[in-house]
Chains A and B, each alone.
Chain A
Amino acid sequence: MWQDVRFGLRMLRKSPGFTAVAVLTLALGIGVNTAIFSLVEAVLLRPLPFPEPDRLVDINESHRKDTLLAEYGVSFPNFKDWQAQSRSFASMGIHEGWEFWLTEGDQVRSVRGKNISWQYLPTVGIQPMWGRSFSAEDEKSGGVALLGFGLWQRLFGADTNLTGKTIVVNDQRQAVIGVMPPGFDSLHRSELWLPLLESRATTEPLQSRSWRLCGVIARLKPGVSLHQAQAELDGVAWRLGDEYPDDNADWGVRVSSLRRKLTKSIRPALPVFIGVAACILLIACANLGNLLLARAASRQKELAIRASVGAGRWRLARQLIAESLVLSLLGGTVGFLAVLWGQGLVARLVSPYMPRFAEINVDSAVFLFSLLVMILTGLVCGLAPVWQVWRADLNAVLKESGHRVSADRSASWLRSGLVVTELALAVVLLIGAGLALRSVHYLLHPGLDAAPGQVLAMEVELPKIRYPEKTQRLEFFEQLLARVRTLPHVQAAGAASFLEFSGGARSPIVLEGIPDRPDAPARWTWSCSVSPDFFRAMRLPLLQGRDFTAEDRTGAPKVAVITETMARRDWPGEHPLGKRFAGRGDSGEESWITVVGVVRDLRTGGVGGDWRASYYCPCYQSPYLGTIVVRAFSNPAGLAAQLQSLVRDLDKRLPPMSVQTLDEVVSDSASEVRMLGQILISLATLALVLAVVGTYGVIACTVAQRTHEFGVRIALGADRRDIALLVLTWGGRLALIGAAVGLFLAWGATRLMASFIEGVSPTDLPTFVGVVLLLCAVALLACLLPARRAMKVNPMEALRCD
């Protein structure tokens, strides 16, 4: 065997061009697979960095009828009852809230943080690096805090001495009692923890069963399965439903593994990635198989001589496979090294969708996988030439050394088949990438009028501790807007509670005159507070009625401007102006809201967002503003800094606010598809390049084999054009068959993507047609060079017998 390997190496050194192409092809195929596997391993296989992580579960409340609420938050009293009435869990912890205001110097910043029950950390099984964890005592007295490692470093540098260290959170001084290890903050995205105070738990709304805004993490008792725990909590939930029908009717529980929960957003993308990686590997294999076949054909004589001096079929096979293995190990090593070198790239692409402790890196499992792929690739690709050599009548090769053995027909069928496979797989990937592209394009154009690049959005976060009253906050916004409007270049400025494509809040409504039957589907409706002029700044055209004015104040009748979609849904075929609706559960004459206008729809919320039924209410009646929107006359360079300094002028203690163009806000909302799109497009391009190289190789090789035929045809009167056409039709036929097979495969495969793409069907006709055209064009391009060579065949030379 060693001798075979040595000989294989010598052969490879003798044809460096072949070796380079083969090694590169394999490096790409194996490299891509190694990278994708490292991602899959991080998401699916590597244990979470907690003790006995398989026992950790995440518990949600789940509405039995409304699928939108299938995985919802938990209310504190329900958690208490679960804790008291279940036996499946060793411990349960609850966490609540998402940000604190931290005073640093004279500024107040928002920091991601949570109130946690003292069991939370023991449940997870992680201790502070130094200092201590919360105790049951702390839940009564408070005044203590745990810091994430990063935050600790920012505030106190490398100092590991906790004594006397305090921070001011929400205007209250807290003693720092411990520092959590690095990486832990990515669990529940938090870098600051305070005890969930019992005293707070007695105040509204934490004590309400319908206030479902907490999260629950629990550790199963050893030997208890997820299903047993689920069944037990189901029972508890039914009892609670009977006991508190007002708040708990129709609410069940969902227990899911913590890993599943943490990898929720990346998980659906994995089948796509795995599929893509498999496609690339297959293409690379087909390419290598083809190269090896071509080489075996040109080496028939050498092999025949070996056979004639007594090498058996197995001996020949061993030699061919050894060569192929040497190649795939070489290529695989190059690919593996490339992945080692560029491993940060994948991580960076997918990081927003991964918990940070599921770091993507190359470990021994990845290495073993890579090695396995190399060996399998080498074996499979080596089989092709073995098959060809076994079939060929080597004696005939020797006997008729003068006469050209007519190119082995079935080998050329095999080669064409491999090329068709490559092209088909490339088509599948291209269609996937095309769909992602179309989807990104769709999401980036949410129906905003011209030039969203000329619109700036600034999120203005006012710390509740400094602006406790709604009216104070409203006043701040009014002052800010008034100043903004005096800036040069500003065309219009308004404010809203949030921009629709970046989030929102939703609640059910009832219509006046239509009885609200509990069995009828709830009319879930999004709502958003806006200032006057908001629609003008966004260029959202009012289709009917009017914009808000200063008259729409508290005390005045409540009014709303609704979207087309809401008008269509709630008053189909009717004139919506003057109609009234109210929040479900609100009562009294003053809760009715009158429709005073209709605006055009805005598509919202990234993937899964849609044309929302939503209404806008005036900020004076519903004073929640969070973002100001400023439309400039021209490109607003410099305006961002002006806006920020206006905020500072109003309140020096506010941290700098982030300013984005509307374009950027929209594009952030599409970041998930964009990531998928980027990955797919780069891999599909790669696949196309490989497939084209493969096509070129086969066509060029065929042209070489058919030189004699072309010579005869030219001698018998064929024009050069006829010959070129012969080559091009042949390539075109391969491309068409490849495209047809690819379309068929894509028809099924793109369904994997359905949950990522928006605004484009998984069987989008323009994408399919476009990809076929692209493939044919590129395939013909690959045939051009061989076709030119075919045209240049000199009949005199081709017809010489030698």
Chain B
Amino acid sequence: MNIATTERNPARESSPATDALIRLRNVEKRYQTKAGFTYVLRQINLDIAAGDFVTIMGPSGAGKSTLLGILGMYDHAWEGEFEFLGHPVHRLAPKDQAALNKRYVGFVFQQFHLLDDLTVAENLDIPLSYRNVPKSERQGMVADVLDRFGIVAKKDLFPAQLSGGQQQLVAVARAIIAKPALLLADEPTGNLHTDQGREIMELFKKLNHEGTTIVQVTHNEAWAAYGQRLIRLKDGWMEK
């Protein structure tokens, strides 16, 4: 599968038979434990159209991160049907799922997961380096993003030298640098002050206007309001 990272909005161009970007049918996730199976997600049916801005909420342990992992195609071990842009993900080999992820998905992790040994700029460069972007262009793109997030001054620092909020900012920047069609954000504002949180939300809003589909997890009702749709999860069940 070839990569087209610099396309402005691949999701809109390549609309297949269905206009849904994501289509989940009876998706279930369970873990084998000593006491038998533990279900983490139950009968998830969900359609997300290209250009949506969806918020997922729910108590801790409800399965939010798990669902995001499946949407991001990091997790291959679940049951049910999942179509992504018309591709039957449930029938794709992990390798092909990874290729889809690489082409379309950006992810903000709950714990940032910045690499300690790399500087801010180098962290931002990682996704580009795995997407065959020429070196010359990469520098420009990193510079753009640093500028856009107002962290140019921090570019040569290591993550440990940043505040939690700044780390969060870098994590978001890294998720969008390859211009993904779908942005999955697991509590992107969890560590931020209200002001900083609002900044991120405004940024999401802008990205969404430009065509990026966004699915975010948050505990904050105010941030949830930025989305057009709200999905509540509880004990693995979607509340209607």
Query: A: which residues have CB within 8 A of B?
Result: 406, 409, 708-709, 711-720, 722, 795-796, 799, 801
Would you call B113 and A796 a contact (CB within 8 A)? no
- For A709, what are the chain B residues with a Cβ–Cβ distance below 8 Å? 115, 117
Would you call B116 and A717 a contact (CB within 8 A)? no
B92-124 CB mask vs A (1 if < 8 Å, else 0) is: 000100100110000101110111110000000
Q: Give 9 nearest A-B pairs by CB, closest first.
A: A717-B130, A717-B102, A406-B116, A716-B127, A712-B113, A718-B130, A801-B111, A795-B74, A716-B126
Would you call A799 and B117 a contact (CB within 8 A)? no
- For A718, what are the chain B residues with a Cβ–Cβ distance below 8 Å? 126, 130
Bound together, the chains give a CA A717 to CA B102 distance in angstroms of 5
Bound together, the chains give a CA A714 to CA B105 distance in angstroms of 13
Would you call B101 and A712 a contact (CB within 8 A)? no
Can you spell out 17 A-B residue pairs with CB atoms less than 8 angstroms apart? A409-B117, A708-B113, A709-B117, A712-B113, A712-B115, A713-B115, A713-B126, A715-B107, A716-B107, A716-B130, A717-B127, A717-B131, A718-B126, A720-B95, A796-B69, A796-B74, A796-B75
Bound together, the chains give a CA A409 to CA B115 distance in angstroms of 14
Q: How far is the CB of A724 from chain B (nearest CB, A)?
A: 14
- For A799, what are the chain B residues with a Cβ–Cβ distance below 8 Å? 109, 111, 113
The closest CB in chain B to the CB of A708 belongs to B113
Would you call A801 and B110 a contact (CB within 8 A)? yes
- For B179, what are the chain A residues with a Cβ–Cβ distance below 8 Å? none
Contact partner of A715 (CB less than 8 A), chosen from B74, B110, B114, B160, is B74
Tell me the interface secondary structure of chain B in the complex.
Answer: loop
- For B75, what are the chain A residues with a Cβ–Cβ distance below 8 Å? 796
Is B178 part of the binding interface, using a Cβ–Cβ cutoff of 8 Å?
yes
Bound together, the chains give a CA A717 to CA B180 distance in angstroms of 12
Is B174 part of the binding interface, using a Cβ–Cβ cutoff of 8 Å?
yes
Which one of B102, B114, B160 has the highest number of Cβ atoms from chain A below 10 Å of its Cβ? B102
Would you call A722 and B130 a contact (CB within 8 A)? yes
- For A406, what are the chain B residues with a Cβ–Cβ distance below 8 Å? 116-117, 160
The closest CB in chain A to the CB of B180 belongs to A717
- For B160, what are the chain A residues with a Cβ–Cβ distance below 8 Å? 406
- For A720, what are the chain B residues with a Cβ–Cβ distance below 8 Å? 95
Would you call B113 and A715 a contact (CB within 8 A)? yes
Bound together, the chains give a CA A799 to CA B68 distance in angstroms of 13
- For A715, what are the chain B residues with a Cβ–Cβ distance below 8 Å? 72, 74, 107, 109, 113
Bound together, the chains give a CA A713 to CA B117 distance in angstroms of 13
- For B98, what are the chain A residues with a Cβ–Cβ distance below 8 Å? 714, 719
Contact partner of B101 (CB less than 8 A), chosen from A708, A713, A717, A796, is A717
The closest CB in chain A to the CB of B69 belongs to A796
- For A795, what are the chain B residues with a Cβ–Cβ distance below 8 Å? 74
- For A714, what are the chain B residues with a Cβ–Cβ distance below 8 Å? 98
Bound together, the chains give a CA A91 to CA B115 distance in angstroms of 83
Given contacts A716-B127, A796-B74, 5 further A-B contacts (CB under 8 A): A709-B115, A712-B115, A713-B126, A717-B178, A718-B126
Would you call A713 and B74 a contact (CB within 8 A)? no
The closest CB in chain A to the CB of B70 belongs to A796
Would you call A716 and B174 a contact (CB within 8 A)? yes
The closest CB in chain A to the CB of B3 belongs to A717
- For A801, what are the chain B residues with a Cβ–Cβ distance below 8 Å? 110-111
Q: How far is the CB of B24 from chain A (nearest CB, A)?
A: 17
Bound together, the chains give a CA A711 to CA B75 distance in angstroms of 12
Q: How far is the CB of A74 from chain B (nearest CB, A)?
A: 74
The closest CB in chain A to the CB of B107 belongs to A715
Q: How far is the CB of B72 from chain A (nearest CB, A)?
A: 8
Q: How far is the CB of B147 from chain A (nearest CB, A)?
A: 21
- For B116, what are the chain A residues with a Cβ–Cβ distance below 8 Å? 406
Which one of A409, A711, A715, A801 has the highest number of Cβ atoms from chain B below 10 Å of its Cβ? A715
Q: How far is the CB of A304 from chain B (nearest CB, A)?
A: 19
Q: How far is the CB of B30 from chain A (nearest CB, A)?
A: 14
Q: How far is the CB of B163 from chain A (nearest CB, A)?
A: 16
Q: How far is the CB of A719 from chain B (nearest CB, A)?
A: 7
- For A722, what are the chain B residues with a Cβ–Cβ distance below 8 Å? 130
Which one of A708, A709, A717, A796 has the highest number of Cβ atoms from chain B below 10 Å of its Cβ? A717
- For A711, what are the chain B residues with a Cβ–Cβ distance below 8 Å? 113
- For B69, what are the chain A residues with a Cβ–Cβ distance below 8 Å? 796
- Tell me which residues from 118 to 177 in chain B have a Cβ below 8 Å from any Cβ of chain A: 126-127, 130-131, 160, 174
Q: How far is the CB of A788 from chain B (nearest CB, A)?
A: 16
Q: How far is the CB of B6 from chain A (nearest CB, A)?
A: 14
Contact partner of A719 (CB less than 8 A), chosen from B109, B110, B115, B130, is B130
Which one of A406, A708, A719, A796 has the highest number of Cβ atoms from chain B below 10 Å of its Cβ? A796
- For B131, what are the chain A residues with a Cβ–Cβ distance below 8 Å? 717
Bound together, the chains give a CA A714 to CA B98 distance in angstroms of 9
The closest CB in chain A to the CB of B159 belongs to A406
Bound together, the chains give a CA A799 to CA B130 distance in angstroms of 19
Q: How far is the CB of B131 from chain A (nearest CB, A)?
A: 6
B65-103 CB mask vs A (1 if < 8 Å, else 0) is: 000010010110000000000000000000100100110
- For B113, what are the chain A residues with a Cβ–Cβ distance below 8 Å? 708, 711-712, 715, 799
Bound together, the chains give a CA A61 to CA B69 distance in angstroms of 91
The closest CB in chain B to the CB of A718 belongs to B130
Q: How far is the CB of B20 from chain A (nearest CB, A)?
A: 24
Bound together, the chains give a CA A720 to CA B97 distance in angstroms of 13
Bound together, the chains give a CA A717 to CA B98 distance in angstroms of 7
Bound together, the chains give a CA A646 to CA B178 distance in angstroms of 92
- For A409, what are the chain B residues with a Cβ–Cβ distance below 8 Å? 117
Q: How far is the CB of B4 from chain A (nearest CB, A)?
A: 13
- For B115, what are the chain A residues with a Cβ–Cβ distance below 8 Å? 709, 712-713
- For B178, what are the chain A residues with a Cβ–Cβ distance below 8 Å? 717
Bound together, the chains give a CA A722 to CA B131 distance in angstroms of 11
